[in-house]
Amino acid sequence: MLANVVRLLRVRGRPRWVQIKIDHRLQARPAPRRWFGRKHASVAELHELVDELLKDDKLKGVVFRIQSPPRGWASLQNVRELMQRLSSGGKRVVAHLSGGSMPEYYLACAADSIVADEAGPLHLTGIATESVFWADALAKLGVQAQAEYRGAYKSFAETFTRTDMSDAHREAITAILDQIHGELRDAVASARNIDGEAADALMTGGPYMASQAVDAGAIDAVLYWDEVAEWLGEDKKTKLGKPSAWAGARLHAPRWRPLFNRRAIRVVSLHGAIVTGEGSEFPRKMLGSKAAERQLDRARTDSRTAAVVLHIDSRGGSAHASDLIWRSVVRLARKKPVVAYFDDVAASGGYYLACAASKIVAQPLTLTGSIGVVGGKLDLSGLYEKIGLHSVVLTRGEAAAMNHTSRGYSEEERRRLREEVGALYDQFVRKVADGRDMAMEQAEQVAQGRVWIGSDAAERGLVDELGGARRAIELAKELARKKPGQKFRVVDVQASGKRSGLLARGIVGQLPVPKQLSDVAELATLADERALMLPLYNLYWS
């Protein structure tokens, strides 16, 4: 009797509003618990929370406190799905901003109302890309980049061999910029109930101070975080409940679990630049072919694994390493359904990993495609001369030293490199054609090293469905289900190298690493690879 009274009191005391904080630490799938620092929630876990929140008739709504969210457009679409599910389920959704730019505002536009701190300016000035070209800078050092590539749009090498954009490079980036701008414009128009022209003016007319944003119709009110509860009509002393407080005060129905573990959908995270070997965690995540093969082979041989979802967030890397991982996916797909889900980027080598999957799911703003190959080296002979360094190379074989950086390619060596890159490109296109059930001519049309956003990739047969990781898992369940109503548990694993242990990951996960340092480290790691599958390197969005 006493226990029932306590439960009743807890139910009556549960929050009528719940707050959810969104910041850069939010990942798509649950991450391993670190030794140092607390474990942060994932989008997948927030979807489970939303499932429960929607069942609570007493819950009025949810306030999303948006502070430096993930920067990838596909990641933002994943979070927008959470907010839209709540809104369509009858809960009021409010977004609170502390300044920000277009990514923060795009996310906030999924809410029913938007409020912001008074001192937090909204930098709504549109979106821009920047491509940095290194040729002149390298020349001043006596360094020349020499490269061969296949694919008219394979612009990775251009950043080191040119001083400006080629026509093909400009065409591809302009198309992506236009499409992302259009998606953002439509989201703003829908959220603020204005036409496309007015939305375009609103999202490019800043920066706005918060009061100016209200006058412009970009937000609904100027409120500090501690004022939000009163604005919602609650007692000003009432705090917005955290998910843990809501869950603790809720009367849960008993949950029955099967006596034996159900078969599983295994979600294998394949993240980072692709390299041969074990990969690394610091200063940037590197996906090692051995680590990926090990996880995929486990999934293939595990009798309790019914299907696999490849959660890919990689812009590519080593051609050889990509092919080794692809082979493991092929072997896995012969035994079990495999669904690939593309996160922010699954381009070039990242797409190579998935082209043998049964189905591919991506967000509309995922960057994918870039089916092409580049190979080359840096000729440091000019630098050697500047600093008085002399090199003597003895060989047995006309092209034995073709990859040495102390000199440039001879005509024969460049011919051999061109043939190697061409053969790898033809192999890549053939595997895309086979995996996507295309004719070679059709695959060649969508290849050429061109990057597509997810919606365009779906129109061209490179992607099967548009959606998030949740949809990819549901699709894997559909493919694995052998009888109606069969249920599965979901297991998350990450392809991490043996040398990156729990302690190292725990420490590294807390270190702020400058982007420039991790970029340089990534290129240095890839320097020994024979050929690369990478899209445009220096592509920054703001």
SS3 readout for 332-351 = HHCCCCEEEEEEEEEECHHH
Residues across the chain? 542
Looking at the fold, whether 290 and 356 belong to one and the same domain comes out as yes
Distance from C-alpha of 293 to C-alpha of 325, rounded to nearest angstrom: 6
Looking at the fold, whether 39 and 82 belong to one and the same domain comes out as yes
Find all residues with CB under 8 Å of 58, minimum gap 6, and list them: 14, 16
**Residue 58 resides in a domain:** yes
Looking at the fold, whether 90 and 214 belong to one and the same domain comes out as yes
Looking at the fold, whether 274 and 315 belong to one and the same domain comes out as yes
Distance from C-alpha of 408 to C-alpha of 391, rounded to nearest angstrom: 13
Tens-digit pLDDT profile for the chain (542 aa)? Answer: 434 434 443 445 677 888 899 888 888 888 765 544 445 678 888 888 889 889 888 888 899 999 888 878 999 999 999 999 999 999 999 999 998 899 999 999 999 999 999 987 899 999 888 888 888 988 898 988 888 888 777 777 788 888 888 888 888 889 999 999 999 999 999 999 999 999 999 999 989 999 999 999 999 999 998 888 889 887 655 667 677 666 655 555 555 555 456 789 999 999 988 988 888 776 667 899 999 999 999 999 999 999 999 999 998 888 889 999 999 999 999 999 999 999 999 998 999 999 999 999 999 999 999 888 888 888 888 888 899 999 888 888 888 888 888 888 899 989 998 898 889 889 999 999 999 999 999 999 999 888 999 999 999 999 999 999 999 999 999 999 988 888 999 999 888 765 444 444 444 444 444 444 444 455 555 555 555 655 554 443 44
DSSP 119-144: T--EE-S---EE----HHHHHHTT-E
Distance from C-alpha of 207 to C-alpha of 222, rounded to nearest angstrom: 16
Burial class (CB in 10 A: 0-12, 13-18, 19+), 132: exposed
Q: Which domain holds residue 17?
A: 10-125+205-248
Looking at the fold, whether 268 and 243 belong to one and the same domain comes out as no
Looking at the fold, whether 210 and 334 belong to one and the same domain comes out as no
Distance from C-alpha of 179 to C-alpha of 37, rounded to nearest angstrom: 39
Dihedral angle computed from the Cα positions of residues 427, 149, 345 and 196, in that order, rounded to the nearest 10 degrees:
-120
CA-based nearest residue to 52, from 258, 256, 243? 243
Looking at the fold, whether 110 and 225 belong to one and the same domain comes out as yes
Per-residue pLDDT at 146: 83
Identity of residue 82 = L
Give the number of other Cβ atoms within 10 Å of residue 514's Cβ.
Answer: 9
Looking at the fold, whether 210 and 329 belong to one and the same domain comes out as no
pTM listed for this prediction: 0.85
Distance from C-alpha of 84 to C-alpha of 36, rounded to nearest angstrom: 34
Q: Are strands 338-347 and 367-369 parallel, antiparallel or unpaired?
A: parallel
Per-residue pLDDT at 530: 53
**Residue 337 resides in a domain:** yes
CATH number of the domain residue 231 falls in? 3.90.226.10
Looking at the fold, whether 343 and 210 belong to one and the same domain comes out as no
Strand ranges in 182-304 using DSSP code E only, listed in sequence order = 221-222, 264-271, 273-275, 279-280, 286-288
Distance from C-alpha of 360 to C-alpha of 339, rounded to nearest angstrom: 6
> Quick check: 66 and 114 in contact, CB under 8 A?
no
Find all residues with CB under 8 Å of 24, minimum gap 6, and list them: 68, 69, 70, 71
Distance from C-alpha of 21 to C-alpha of 112, rounded to nearest angstrom: 17
Looking at the fold, whether 214 and 115 belong to one and the same domain comes out as yes
Question: 494 forms bridges with which residues in the sheet?
Answer: 269
**Residue 515 resides in a domain:** yes
> Quick check: 279 and 265 in contact, CB under 8 A?
no
The kind and range of the H/E element at 203 are helix 196-204
Domains held by the chain: number: 2
**Residue 481 resides in a domain:** yes
Looking at the fold, whether 219 and 322 belong to one and the same domain comes out as no
Structure tokens at 272: 């980072």
Strand ranges in 118-276 using DSSP code E only, listed in sequence order = 122-123, 129-130, 144-150, 221-222, 264-271, 273-275
Looking at the fold, whether 98 and 213 belong to one and the same domain comes out as yes
Q: Of 248, 274, 309, which residue is a domain's last?
A: 248
Q: How far is C-alpha 515 from the chain's CA centre?
A: 16
Q: Of 193, 223, 248, which residue is a domain's last?
A: 248
Q: Are strands 359-362 and 338-347 parallel, antiparallel or unpaired?
A: parallel
Distance from C-alpha of 239 to C-alpha of 230, rounded to nearest angstrom: 9
> Looking at residue 437, what DSSP letter applies?
T
Per-residue pLDDT at 26: 82
Distance from C-alpha of 226 to C-alpha of 131, rounded to nearest angstrom: 41
